[in-house]
Structure 1
Amino acid sequence: MPTGENDPRLEKYRRMQRIRQFEAKAEAIHAQGEIPGALHTYAGMEASGVGCCMALRDDDYMVGTHRSHGHPIAKGAALRPLMAELLGKKTGICQGKGGSMHLSDFSVGSLGETSIVGSGGPVAAGAALGAKLQGLDRVALCFFGDGASSEGAIHEGMNLAAVWSLPAIFVCENNRFGMSTPTDKAVAGKNVADRAHGYGIPGVIVDGQDVDAVEDAVREAVDRARAGKGPTLIETKTYRYGDHAVNMGRELTPRGPEHEDWVARDPIMLYRARLIDSRVGADVLDAIDAAVSDEVTDALQFARDSAYPAFEEAFDHVFVDRLPIPEDVGKYA
């Protein structure tokens, strides 16, 4: 079996490792106070994001959530500007103004993540509409969580996409908890994917810990969307290892006996075992692990060495015409 640089199986493994190691490093430095504000990590959910993004082209659109580091990494984003953004540096992907929950990277089609739960639905529908009106064959994929599955904006986006047969894929990453509330206590019905029937679109449930299964399901939805047959709702059954937001000084997420079962089904370990069973050498995977570790270390050093934006830059990128800087603003710097 091929195990070269262009082997998509190794790329899936590499991207999952990049997410896991990036999140581990971010959590560690957040605990030391280097990252301001809340930090929502994606560890445990890597197969969902990577499986989805491996089914997309580079020029396809993606909209993420407040748990926002994993999605652009899954789409192939560079780690240096992402880490710099978390530290609020000028070299960050949003020049230090977005922070952990508001990342975007247009170079890989990431239209942005946001702390407004469920807000990505209309954004994805709009991107899909734009592609359709321009005669492009791009698709737009919207990630949202089980906590957002009852938000009106998500359903508005799905309804418009269904009515107009837009090339959109809506992916509910059901990680068992909406902040601290178990999904079965807040979401009516057994499966979020069942709600697709109300819009006359396919609803698909997939094992979110199996990166191949996720990719296959999303690839089918992508092919359907590119063919002009409209959107699909996919629910990935997954699990987040960290609390809703890490290092907050209190446990927000209640863990039951099923926690250990989910940890035992670590998506990276499952895929590593599958690769080894298919005759990919453990040394090849170990080399990827080491290379990713070096990449994350390099990204952190780059971020630490980068400058903060000047205070005047707070007035940039607010409106089309730059806001005037008050004459006395310097005394507050």
Structure 2
Amino acid sequence: MTEQTKERNLEKYRRMLRIREFEATAEAIHAAGEIPGSLHTYTGQEATGVGACMALRDDDYMVGNHRSHGHPIAKGATLRPLMAELLGKVTGVCKGKGGSMHLADFSIGSLGETSIVGSGIPVAAGAALGSKLQGNDRVTLCFFGDGATNEGAFHEGLNLAAIWKLPAIFVCENNGYAVSTPASAVVPLANIADRGKAYGIPSFVVDGQDVDAVEAAVAAAVELARGGGGPTFLEMKTYRYADHAVNMGRVLLDRGEEVDEWRKRDPITLYRKQLIDSGVAADVLDRIDHEAKVAVADALQFARDSDYPDQLEAFDDVFSERLPIPDFLSQ
């Protein structure tokens, strides 16, 4: 293993650990009432996000979904503004106005996430069209879940990407469930990737728990897109450990033994063993683990120390003229 390869592999491990620690902390403070609203965690799916984003350039675009914390972290985002956004603070990536499901960080090419299922797909197609019209070689990668492939936006987005040969990579993170409904109950296919083939798009199934396999598949798709070959559809077989949104309880779904089976193929555990088998010392990985905990703790402290937005800022960053401020609000 070359030193460059080793450092790249350690960076994949670092980003997966940062996601895992970030989500564990988010769950804890959500339960304590510090995060308002819903919280959709990425725990268990770290290899899909990290592997995919490691195949991108810093200036490539990325579009996520409502399970949104893992995607910007996988792309290399700074943790402090992400955590501040979860707490609704003015130092957040969206100035505290977006919250958990609507993170966007243009500094790393993250065009944003949204709680509307499937809505990121036409956004990604639009970003890819923009790159093609500008004549640059940026690609756009779009994350979405298995449930999004039943939305009209999925079919419209893939059809446009196919006929216009847009530089887009569509990554379906098939974690087996849409909220609490098994994918097998609503999708009459063993592999959702087959839907991409209907549009003449190269489509493949990938082991979403293997970060190297994910990176290799996305890297091939990126090469095709940059060369003008058009889009690729990749189905990542993965799994989320928590419920659709944390603290929903087991009333909706009891997956007990199934979760235990998937934990046997935990992406971080698998990759740690792979790195050690390749000659990386365990203490090096332990240090990265510690650094991830420190980084997330620092982000949380930063978020807690930050201010909430001023109430008058509610009228900023909207597609309309600011309304008159009533006297009692401006006092």
Flag whether TM exceeds 0.5 (same fold).
yes
Amino acid at match of 1:323: R
Q: Which secondary structure state, in structure 2, belongs to the residue aligned with residue 76 of structure 1?
A: coil
Q: Would you say 1:165 and 2:189 are equivalent positions? A: no
Residues 329/180 of structure 1: CA separation in 2 closer, same or farther (3 Å cut): farther
Does the aligned pair in 1 maintain the 2:138–2:226 contact within 8 Å? Answer: yes
Does the aligned pair in 2 maintain the 1:179–1:253 contact within 8 Å? Answer: no
Deviation at 1:249, TM superposition (A): 4.3
Match of 1:19 in 2: 19
Q: Would you say 1:217 and 2:209 are equivalent positions? A: no
Does the aligned pair in 1 maintain the 2:243–2:249 contact within 8 Å? Answer: no
Deviation at 1:147, TM superposition (A): 1.0
Query: How many residues end up aligned between the 2 structures?
Result: 331
Residues 252/329 of structure 1: CA separation in 2 closer, same or farther (3 Å cut): farther
Deviation at 1:5, TM superposition (A): 11
2: CA distance between counterparts of 1:329 and 1:121? Answer: 43
Q: Would you say 1:28 and 2:20 are equivalent positions? A: no
Does the aligned pair in 1 maintain the 2:170–2:232 contact within 8 Å? Answer: yes
2: CA distance between counterparts of 1:248 and 1:199? Answer: 37
Match of 2:144 in 1: 144
Amino acid at match of 1:48: T
TM-score by structure 1 length?
Answer: 0.96
Does the aligned pair in 2 maintain the 1:84–1:96 contact within 8 Å? Answer: yes
Does the aligned pair in 1 maintain the 2:167–2:229 contact within 8 Å? Answer: yes
Amino acid at match of 2:325: P
Match of 2:326 in 1: 327
Amino acid at match of 2:40: H
Q: 1:122-271 alignment to 2 at 5 Å?
A: 122-255=122-255, 257-271=257-271
Does the aligned pair in 2 maintain the 1:60–1:139 contact within 8 Å? Answer: yes
2: CA distance between counterparts of 1:239 and 1:327? Answer: 49
Deviation at 1:4, TM superposition (A): 7.5
1: CA distance between counterparts of 2:96 and 2:140? Answer: 26
Q: Which secondary structure state, in structure 2, belongs to the residue aligned with residue 265 of structure 1?
A: coil
1: CA distance between counterparts of 2:266 and 2:323? Answer: 51
Deviation at 1:250, TM superposition (A): 4.6
Q: Which secondary structure state, in structure 1, belongs to the residue aligned with residue 198 of structure 2?
A: helix
Larger deviation, residues 251-260 vs 211-220: 251-260
Deviations 1:294-323 (A, max 9, x none): 00000000000000000000000012x641
Match of 2:121 in 1: 121
1: CA distance between counterparts of 2:5 and 2:296? Answer: 19
Deviation at 1:173, TM superposition (A): 0.2
Match of 2:74 in 1: 74
Deviations 1:192-251 (A, max 9, x none): 101112100111100000000000000000100001010010000000000100013454
2: CA distance between counterparts of 1:125 and 1:264? Answer: 36
Give percent identity, aligned residues only: 69
Does the aligned pair in 2 maintain the 1:89–1:306 contact within 8 Å? Answer: yes
Q: Which secondary structure state, in structure 2, belongs to the residue aligned with residue 143 of structure 1?
A: strand
Q: Which secondary structure state, in structure 2, belongs to the residue aligned with residue 141 of structure 1?
A: strand
Deviation at 1:325, TM superposition (A): 3.4
1: CA distance between counterparts of 2:244 and 2:7? Answer: 34
Q: Would you say 1:280 and 2:280 are equivalent positions? A: yes
Give the RMSD, CA atoms, in angstroms. Answer: 1.5
Q: Would you say 1:297 and 2:297 are equivalent positions? A: yes
Match of 1:50 in 2: 50
Deviation at 1:6, TM superposition (A): 7.8
1: CA distance between counterparts of 2:4 and 2:80? Answer: 25
Larger deviation, residues 215-224 vs 256-265: 256-265
Larger deviation, residues 251-260 vs 165-174: 251-260
Amino acid at match of 2:157: G
Residues 312/73 of structure 1: CA separation in 2 closer, same or farther (3 Å cut): same
Does the aligned pair in 2 maintain the 1:121–1:155 contact within 8 Å? Answer: no
Residues 269/246 of structure 1: CA separation in 2 closer, same or farther (3 Å cut): same
Residues 269/88 of structure 1: CA separation in 2 closer, same or farther (3 Å cut): same
Residues 151/329 of structure 1: CA separation in 2 closer, same or farther (3 Å cut): farther
Q: Which secondary structure state, in structure 2, belongs to the residue aligned with residue 123 of structure 1?
A: helix
Deviation at 1:279, TM superposition (A): 0.2
2: CA distance between counterparts of 1:18 and 1:167? Answer: 29
1: CA distance between counterparts of 2:159 and 2:80? Answer: 38
1: CA distance between counterparts of 2:142 and 2:155? Answer: 12
Amino acid at match of 1:7: E
1: CA distance between counterparts of 2:4 and 2:199? Answer: 43
